[in-house]
Structure 1
Amino acid sequence: MRQQPVLVYDGDCAFCTSSVRFAERRLRPRCAATPWQFTDLTELGISRRRAEHEVLWVTPTGAVHGGAQAVAKLLLSAPRGWPVVGALLTLPPLRWAAHGVYRLIARNRHRMPGGTAACALPSSPAARKQP
């Protein structure tokens, strides 16, 4: 069994990679961060489609949290005042707002600072099929 949570993100997305690197440097969360492209997704109990769709936080016991709740879990694992922010993001109505903001950013991550065309989510179901 893993000893620490795993943050799974899109390593092909420059915005996602930059965001994770920023979090590692500034927030110092207690987790292992890894691109889904270099991860045994089956071992973590997550599908490729879900990994392509959102950032994921996988606990040592195998619970999976996605999107804004994965960000909240990351903040909860960080030192200093960040756990307070993470806890607030788990409570309604902030949880609902965080979900909406996360979805907006995720859909437009290729337009965000540092984003590239590689950051765009696959546009059709056919493009999402596993090889």
Structure 2
Amino acid sequence: MPDPAANRPPKAPGRPIVFFDGGCPLCRREIGHYQRLDTAAAVDWRDIHADAAPLAAWGITWDQAMQRMHAVSPEGRIRSGAWAFVLVWRHLPYYRWLGGVLHRLPPVVWLMDRVYNVIARFRWRSRCDDGVCRPGG
């Protein structure tokens, strides 16, 4: 008999979850900076290069997560790209004010997301397009 809980969305996490590529030197450096600031453990950092399994619960494929950074808000909403960064910044010291301001300026975040897309596409092509970053690859 199928488990009815398997079709339910995950419970709201209560704090942001960030899925990042820990196998990417650029990503590791940037996320490492944020992790050092996160002395209160306000964010749940998940390295999908080490363990991609948690993505499935949120309906995020490994390819999607590798092509754009994804985060889940404390309320359970999925964000990606620049929108994910704004979500994270709102929970970190030194960036909280910036995240708060940008959260109220969607057109600015939209422009940031366009720039992010260019960088993310370049990163994907240079790191993952040939399959080198696949788990176990």
Answer whether TM exceeds 0.5 for this pair.
yes
Q: Which residue of 1 aligns with 2:83?
A: 69
**Aligned residue pairs, count:** 119
4+ residue segments displaced more than 6 Å:
none
Counting aligned pairs with the same residue, the percent is: 25
1:1-131 maps to which residues of 2 (within 5 A)? 1=11, 2-26=13-37, 28=39, 30-37=42-49, 38-39=51-52, 40-80=54-94, 82-90=95-103, 91-109=105-123, 120-122=127-129
Q: Relative contact order: is structure 1 or structure 2 higher (C-alpha 8 Å, sep ≥ 6)?
A: 1
Inter-partner Cα distance in structure 1 for 2:75 and 2:32: 25
User: Is the contact between residue 34 and residue 92 of structure 2 (CA under 8 Å) also seen in structure 1?
Assistant: no
User: Is the contact between residue 7 and residue 32 of structure 1 (CA under 8 Å) also seen in structure 2?
Assistant: yes
Amino acid in the other structure paired with 2:57: E
Give 1:123 shift. Answer: 6.0
Amino acid in the other structure paired with 1:45: G
RMSD: 2.9
Inter-partner Cα distance in structure 2 for 1:61 and 1:109: 29
Calculate the TM-score normalised by the size of structure 2: 0.70
User: Is the contact between residue 55 and residue 70 of structure 1 (CA under 8 Å) also seen in structure 2?
Assistant: yes
**Any stretches of 5+ residues in structure 1 without a counterpart?**
111-116
Give 1:59 shift. Answer: 2.6
Q: Residues 123 and 94 of structure 1: is their aligned pair in 2 closer, same or farther, counting only changes over 3 Å?
A: farther
Q: Deviations over 1:21-66 (max 9, x none)?
A: 0111136571111112314211233121211111111134431100
Inter-partner Cα distance in structure 1 for 2:22 and 2:63: 14
Larger Rg: 2
Inter-partner Cα distance in structure 2 for 1:86 and 1:25: 18
Helix, strand or coil at the partner of 2:19: strand
Calculate the TM-score normalised by the size of structure 1: 0.73
Give 1:108 shift. Answer: 3.0
